Chain A
Amino acid sequence: KNQVEQSPQSLIILEGKNCTLQCNYTVSPFSNLRWYKQDTGRGPVSLTIMTFSENTKSNGRYTATLDADTKQSSLHITASQLSDSASYICVVTGTYKYIFGTGTRLKVLA
């Protein structure tokens, strides 16, 4: 069964600290993997996208990694800011379908 699992479900960190969010998937065949940021009550916004051949991709303080062999991805946030408080959703594209994880809810405290 095609699934995308994210961990942890929620995370609280202090401003300025780093954190890493995890995404494991069982989608096959695999086309690409995206990370989205969703602020409360808003639509998701794309952070990064990676295909099978890409291991790392950065977008400012966000760095995503992909290990296609183990079917794992991570999103690393450096020097967190209050505005990073949001849900982060991992989405894997399979055969003509987008498969969504349940998200990690991040709270950054001052």
Chain B
Amino acid sequence: DGGITQSPKYLFRKEGQNVTLSCEQNLNHDAMYWYRQDPGQGLRLIYYSQIVNDFQKGDIAEGYSVSREKKESFPLTVTSAQKNPTAFYLCASSISGPGGSYNEQFFGPGTRLTVL
């Protein structure tokens, strides 16, 4: 099956810990994205990558880090510097960046992170 997978589905973190959320896609897409979703707010962009070994900060990158060593993988680390990390995290991919007219984003199932 083609698609995007995220793991784990639920993640619990103690204050002061770093945690890493996994995102894998087998759609052969160049671009990958991480979003944060909070109740009553639209999706907010954390980081995005348009090509392997390159990534850019989004609107709310503070306290997060990413890597893009392989085309199919784009893990997100939530560091202890992120003061309010409890949220639903969504990974997405697209054939290329947002410039194309029909360049649809495909989303993974999400990871719900809770800080204890």
Do residues B104 and A44 form an inter-chain contact, with CB atoms below 8 A?
no
Q: Chain B's nearest CB lies how many Å from the CB of A86?
A: 13
Known: A4-B42, A43-B90, A100-B43. A93 touches B112 (CB 8 A): no
Known: A102-B40, A103-B42. A42 touches B101 (CB 8 A): no
Residues of B within 8 A of A41 (CB): 88, 110, 112
Q: Does B74 contact A (CB under 8 A)?
A: no
Known: A43-B110, A44-B107, A49-B102. A96 touches B97 (CB 8 A): yes
Q: Chain B's nearest CB lies how many Å from the CB of A91?
A: 8
Across the interface, B109 reaches (CB within 8 A) one of A42, A91, A94, A98, namely: A42
Known: A32-B102, A43-B108. A89 touches B90 (CB 8 A): no
Q: Chain A's nearest CB lies how many Å from the CB of B94?
A: 9
Q: Which of A42-57 contact B (CB under 8 A)?
A: 42-46, 49, 51
Known: A41-B112, A42-B110, A43-B90. A31 touches B101 (CB 8 A): yes
Binary CB contact string for chain B from 6 to 39 against chain A (1 if under 8 A, 0 otherwise): 1000000000000000000000000000000000
24 intermolecular pairs with C-beta atoms under 8 Å apart:
A31-B99, A31-B100, A31-B101, A32-B102, A34-B104, A36-B107, A41-B88, A41-B110, A41-B112, A42-B110, A43-B4, A43-B107, A44-B90, A44-B107, A46-B105, A46-B106, A49-B104, A51-B102, A96-B99, A98-B45, A100-B42, A100-B44, A102-B40, A102-B41
